Structure 1
Amino acid sequence: MTALAAQAGAGRPRRTVARGALACAMLVLAGGVAGAQIPAAAPTGPNPKLEASRKAFEALPETERKSIQDALVWAGTYNGVTDGSFGKRTYDAITTFETRAKLTADGILAPQERAHLAHAATRAREAVVFRLVTDPVSGIRIGLPTRVLDKSSQARSGTVYASSRDRTALALFVADPAATLPELFDKLGVDGPPTRRVSYKVLRPDFLVVTGTDSGRRFFTRIAKGEAGLRGFTFTYPDDAGAAFDKLTIAITNSFDPFPARPSGGTAPTPAAPPAPVAQTPAGPRLVGTGLIVAPGRVLTTAAAAAECPAPLIGRARAQILRSSAESGLALLEAGAAKAAPVAPASREPAAGDSLAVAGFAEAPAAASGGPSVPTLGVASATVATEQPALRIIAPLQAQAGGSPVVDRRGQLVGIVAAAAAPRRIAGVVPQTSYAVVPAATIAAFLTAAGVAPAAAEATADGLTAGTIAAAWAPALVAVECGPTGSP
């Protein structure tokens, strides 16, 4: 078996800890369903307050933007990635903090308000004595709440930090050099014993995440891919620990550096005094959805993506909207795309409970240089929630998932994800949520009316893995983007 070290519980014998750690890390991709959420309607226009908050936030240096987001995590109002990019989660976190602090909730943090936020974050951070450490075994650099995790033990592939008071633990590990993320995603995506339930799983080109509960404890596992191999961590804590430990999960995840440039440790940096605002280069293109190449030069996406961006970009080049239908929820773009996807309806309609796969683009973190982010292609498993004609799926999809193809386990198209609001993230990832799907039959009718003949796909044997499906569909998928803030 792959040699992964994973979660440990305080009070267990070391051998039992290692065995439990191995099981947790190996079974990182089992499916779970959370409460369904009906997607909200697409916004009809810009929010002036949000745009004013965006302008003020993006006028700050990148390091200050990241520092604000980190402080908002410790203030308990932000549960996203501290990458310095602005979005509705950052806006909501700022206004929530302002409301709690009895400040003007306008989403704009004046210098004195940023100082107040930094002070509140420092108090919360020091309450758990949060320190950056570099594990001598795995080489991972990560934030450690040393007051909570006050003892440690070394395993063959990493160090386990645990609490002497309860069953809280942080296990760091290195995977077998022969292991790959898709193999872990496909081979290990099974439920464990009755006491262990996975509530979320996702695979991306450079990482995977799984969360759930096991024997009365919550767990959060993240494994990253790099030139040095696969490294990851599992954080576990009592299921009844409350929001304080959810906040710690976010802070630990955002501090996770699996491949640090050089060993480092000691105290986590305290946010510096806010510098004066400076002008910044406008943000780069933003992702609005995924496009499916249905014929040479023709890309299918959602009508909502076309409405949000009248002059979309594909491959960072302008694309033309040829046809858009609010009734079907689909749009057809003209772009320099070559390989067409087989988009004729699947020969077998999905039934409730069927296992599917969703492939699409997600917004990647901004480049280290501060440049614009580049969308990355990923895949997630899904389950049919309701059947035709009101087809819905339950899946852990990222923001801007509209247009992503939904494929059955024989490799045939079931439909594409309809436009949907971004769900609430937990520690930078999203839970299982209900999404509407535009059925393949509707797609075929729309394309026929537009003069595009849908190509059929031959069904393979049932049981294709999500990784196999993603590899087969990747050449026919493109990111649909919109220009920088202030451009069409």
Structure 2
Amino acid sequence: MTRILMRLFFVATVAFATGLISGGAARAQATAWVQIEAQPTLAEAEARARAYAATFPQVSGFRMRSGWYAIALGPFARNEATNQLRSLRSARQIPGDSFVAFSNQYAQQFWPVGGAIPTQPLVPLNPAGTTETAQPAPDAGAQAEETAEAEAEVVATPEPEPEPEETPRQARASERQLDRAGRELLQEALQWEGFYTGAIDASFGAGTRRAMAAYQTAIGAEPTGVLTTRQREGLIGGYQAQFEALGLASLRDERAGVELIAPTKLVKFAKIEPPFAQYDSEGDSGVRLLLISQLGEQAELSGLYDIMQTLEIVPPEGERERGRRSFTLTGQDTQRHSYTYATLSGGQIKGFTLIWRPEDAKLMTKVVQMMRDSFTPLDGVVMPDNAGTSGGDEQRIDLMAGLQLRRPDHSRSGFYVDGSGAVLTTTEALGQCSRVTVNEEVEMEVSAQDDSLGLALLRPQSAQAPLSYARFAPQVPRLQSEIAVSGYSYEDLLTLPVLTFGQLADIRGLSGQENLHRLSIEALPGDAGGPVLDQTGAVVGMLLPRSTDGARQLPENVSFSADAGSIAAFLSNAGLTPSASEATSGLPPEDLTLLAGDMTVLVSCWN
């Protein structure tokens, strides 16, 4: 923790002393700004810019690449910006943490409204906030005389010449002045920009020199492999500018018993919901932080590992790593990225989760590494299970510790049709799914489907061993005989299927279709895809979804199923041999329920 804080202090000192200079050719750095403030939202930034404009005539506001909004004075020539920074800070006209910035660190201008980023340096300000050349208004005669002189001769104010670049010899001499921390920082900046892939070891070997030359080529400079002072400042400034608005500092939470470096300007404490201390986004940063703290041993650590993967904040795509006493989870989707780390020591489980937007991935990946390196559990401090809870808190089965559980887009029913775990379901279950699972855990692939019959065959990505699978009735069932449908009537709200009883009303469809059975049964949408069973437990069909034909509204108790003969032909064409039932006697309801439960599965569609 101490080493990382010292590094942060060193980086900040470099930034304030030299100005945060974004990478680019030296000529682009002749125009500089004094950045005096940054706000997380546009509304806050506009209000502050308006307040500063009442004192300073040269206030501008820009959106930064970090997503925050900067308020700056200028522009100035580079040397003058440094002078103005010192002067205005000494006079306490601007905040003490103001610093020099450059135009290529800013994006769209928001203040003044409709403005563009100026490229010509303006005259300096004095500590009172006015221009140094400002004088009392002349009398009418003097003004007329000045106007006449101006019409006679227009003299353009020349743009300040850029400072001369160092010679290679001078560059090597200035490089030798860097201490170890400065050399490591330079390697980190080269690595951040994608020019360096080696170790951060403060040794400027062949790999570092090639990286420096590549950086020089990228900014249009001669690739000598030795950066000049200005080039180093530009590289480090561009690197540090990404972190300036994060507020990286030590966060010590005595409730959770955790200390770590965190982006304190992007998050704010929200609430305690064991096992989490939750920090919500500050403004529109899109960053959230959870500190994990609970008592436990390996069983509880494994349980936390499983539970975390059911939360929306941990997308299913990403690397997972679990050891005996720690685990890490990464997750990425189109809405969020997240990183979770938890460790077990002395009967205490401590950790953190950081969530951010995909567009901030490069920056936040670096932040995560700093958080992991600085993570320190506080001995003897752990969050009690009843911390922060109250009777008024919202309680829902789709929430865990106040966090939304990840749920599928929709779910239907299905049933095993062989001993390897192949599943028959309705094509309605597939939709436009990016992934399909059985019982929310087993990843499935679509092996075959028949849209005209509404049948789909799923095969598991890894072999399964179901407790039971379908045995199909060898004969056509009797009209008006009792049947039962096994299905997840309430989709993923229940963990076991429901058995719904009814009657076989007809062995044909309403238009005489030979491959359909008409059922008299009160089925729900989640039941579609489930097996239709006779009293012996033999499968006589698969329940189909109710028709969405708006021109006709059938009675609620009218449903249809694909018959066993059509299903058998479909499975045979897909390379699977269906099994025939040999049962001859009826089963009591409780035995039928157990048999149906062993073969029926929840089929879920995820996006």
Instruction: Compute the TM-score of the two structures, normalised by the length of structure 1.
Output: 0.36
**Which fold has the larger relative contact order, with Cα–Cα distance below 8 Å and residues 6 or more apart in sequence?**
1
The structure richer in helix per residue is: 2
- Greater C-alpha Rg: 2
Instruction: Compute the TM-score of the two structures, normalised by the length of structure 2.
Output: 0.29
